[in-house]
Chain A
Amino acid sequence: MSVTPPVTASTLLRVDGLRTEFTTDQGPITPVDGVGFTVAAGETLCLVGESGSGKSVSALSIMGLLAGNGRITEGSVMFEGQDLAGLPEPELRRIRGHAIAMIFQEPMTSLNPVLTIGDQLAETMILHLGLTKAEARQRAIELLEKVGIPRAGAVVDDHPHRLSGGMRQRVMIAMALSCRPKLIIADEPTTALDVTIQAQILRLMRELSAETGTATIFITHDLGVVAEMADRVAVMYAGQVVEETDVYTLFDQPKHPYTVALLRSIPHITTPAGDRLTPISGSVPSLLHLPTGCRFRERCPHAMDRCTTELPALRPLGEGEGTHSVRCWLYDETGTAVSV
């Protein structure tokens, strides 16, 4: 379905042709169908797309955290030479929270209300790193200091309800970092926070990932956050990655019509006051009634006959560099626009 992205020595995670299916009352749906990207060690990949584009399901698939009615039907999730898609539950458990940690969207509800901050931080480290209770507590305090929580020595014994949303998200970040993971998956970690706190948390995450060399998959629908955080970007539409490239190329030379349209629909500081933004016409197709061929064709200004019949593959542009891949019939292998 898609061309295997190149494997370099530093590749930490390579997701390839991922397809995740859920059985529902209305029949099977595949919220993720053709997701591929690579994350190099220490790098931040932003997974960007609208609600329902399959960002979160992709993340949950990587972690093996799909609900009972969901499963990976195709593709591979290679993490440090292991295919996580085929790994039995006990081995996945050893990786979760240890080699791959996750940060969730809702800091207000992601901490257990009856356990202290310290208990929750320590539990992970006792389990995965085999620390003693005393060691874990000591390290919990260090971690809280590291994520910028004042009075860490006192907060460690507090219950979550004493902390604000921003503080709780800092705790979640501390928890994710506690076992020195190689990869952190952050699922819209700042969406629930107000803008100033959002900026603080983003800065903290950037600093920490630079300091610890942790790779990050950062899920967001906010292109501003993408510009702030990403080394590389994978743009998702209706369950598929439609474009993957480094962050500069994405903003300077977007190739996929969806990416182009997305960038046009956000206001820019140089946009004259009277100008209107260009919205994308139509809406995201329902997973139950996906169009044939290219999933974006109904909203695409460049749609051709071929788009109706054939689904384009995610193909690398240029001479085998493979740093920029697009899923669109407008481009041939060299990245030049095909004459229509």
Chain B
Amino acid sequence: MHKRLEPETGQSSARLMIRRFRRHRLAVVGLVVVVLMVLMAALAPLLAPDDPNRIFDKFESSPSGEHLLGTDSVGRDVLSRLIYGARVSMSVGVGAVVVYVVIGVLLGLLAGYYGGWVDQVLMRITDVFMSFPYFMVILILVSVLGPSLLTIIVVIGALAWPMIGRLVRGSVLSIKGSDYVQAAVALGYRTPRILFRHILPNALSPIVVNATFGVAQAIILESGLSFLGMGVRPPAASWGNMLSEAQSITVLSSQPWIWIPPGLMILLAVLAINFVGDGLRDSMESRSES
């Protein structure tokens, strides 16, 4: 089934898409940044100069040859923590999006294809989920379930699917009336095959674009939660909880090396991913013209 989720686009249309994407300068830069960040996360043990949790004697020391970005208020190497923090952001971003895309796609397919009461029920549930004060519910759920990386992924994933659900439902509604879906039914194909092989690949572009922006949003959410102490728990490093050191006035005013780098990393990651999303949207838009 997961194999089917991949776009089975032809050489020609895929090549066309890549050409359009490459014309989008910012998107290409964004993609490079994203790739670098993913590499940084994956290769963190090799790249980090120190163990991110090792406590040195000198705390709150400013950047020096020994600690390129200085040490934090406990005496840990900021650069090492920054590099390890990428792991958290990347896994939350990708993990949460995978969870909610799977939920949203399944529900959207069912609602759009079957219509009638199935659609009614699923869409009313969607409405309910969309009317939650999002951040509050996440805060409450995280505090009930206990803050951890996995909790954040699951909670964001479980709450953020309505957008994708509606998107997919809308696409399915228009695609299911198409001649080739009628033809697939007339060829004796079963409903799951029609849904996943004949309808879903044709609805993929908006899903991919939406999911890309979703990664950026999930990263922001994780940072916010960690900043509030409801996210990834120290000593594990995340950009959000590194940023929370800025809650202290002394750190904020006189030790910028502790909080500016993680802040910049969040900004950079979110910006880069959003540029990629823009590029994908522009290059995929007219793909179905074929």
Contacts and interface: CB of A to CB of B under 8 A. Distances in A.
Interface of A: 63, 65, 68, 92-98, 101-102, 104, 106, 109-116, 119, 123-124, 127-128, 158-162, 172, 175
A83 B40 CA distance: 66
A110 B180 CA distance: 4
Interface in B150-190: 178-180, 182-190
A113 B188 contact: no
A161 B187 contact: no
B12 A110 contact: no
Interface in B111-153: 115-116
Contact of B188 (A110, A112, A127): A127
B81 to A, nearest CB: 44
B129 to A, nearest CB: 27
A15 B202 CA distance: 37
B188 A93 contact: yes
B188 A159 contact: no
Contacts of A113: 180, 202, 288, 290
B247 interface: no
B65 interface: no
Nearest to B187: A97
A94 B188 contact: yes
Interface string B216-260: 000000000000000000000000000000000000000000000
B24 interface: no
A158 B10 contact: yes
B13 A159 contact: yes
A93 B188 CA distance: 4
B8 A161 contact: no
A162 B184 CA distance: 20
B7 interface: yes
B33 to A, nearest CB: 30
A93 B7 CA distance: 27
B184 A112 contact: yes
B22 interface: no
B179 A109 contact: yes
A68 B115 contact: yes
B10 A175 contact: no
Contact of B8 (A106, A114, A128): A114
B193 to A, nearest CB: 8
B201 interface: yes
Contacts of A124: 187-188
Which 4 pairs show the lowest CB-CB distances between chains A and B?
Answer: A97-B187, A161-B290, A96-B188, A97-B188
Interface of B: 7-10, 12-13, 115-116, 178-180, 182-190, 197-198, 201-202, 288, 290
Contacts of A63: 186
Given A119-B8, A159-B12, A111 B180 contact: yes
A114 B187 contact: no
B288 A102 contact: no
29 contacts: A65-B186, A68-B115, A68-B116, A92-B188, A93-B188, A96-B185, A96-B186, A97-B186, A104-B179, A104-B182, A104-B183, A104-B186, A109-B178, A109-B179, A110-B182, A111-B183, A112-B180, A112-B202, A113-B180, A113-B290, A114-B8, A114-B10, A114-B202, A115-B8, A115-B197, A116-B8, A123-B197, A128-B188, A161-B290
A97 B179 CA distance: 15
A205 to B, nearest CB: 17
Nearest to B114: A68
B290 A110 contact: no
Contacts of A127: 187-189
Given A104-B186, A112-B202, A127-B187, 18 more contacts: A68-B116, A93-B190, A102-B186, A106-B179, A109-B178, A110-B179, A110-B182, A110-B183, A113-B180, A114-B9, A114-B202, A115-B8, A116-B8, A124-B187, A124-B188, A159-B10, A159-B13, A159-B290
B138 to A, nearest CB: 36
A116 B10 contact: yes
A162 B290 CA distance: 8
Nearest to A95: B188
Contacts of B288: 113
Looking at B7, B180, B184, B290, the one whose CB has the most chain A CB atoms below 10 A away is B180
A109 B186 contact: no
Contacts of A119: 8
Looking at B115, B179, B183, B197, the one whose CB has the most chain A CB atoms below 10 A away is B183
Contacts of B10: 114, 116, 158-159
A172 B182 CA distance: 13
B56 to A, nearest CB: 56
A119 B189 CA distance: 14
A63 B13 CA distance: 35
Contacts of B180: 109-113
A116 B14 CA distance: 13
Looking at A96, A114, A159, A175, the one whose CB has the most chain B CB atoms below 10 A away is A114
A114 B4 CA distance: 12
Looking at B10, B116, B202, the one whose CB has the most chain A CB atoms below 10 A away is B10
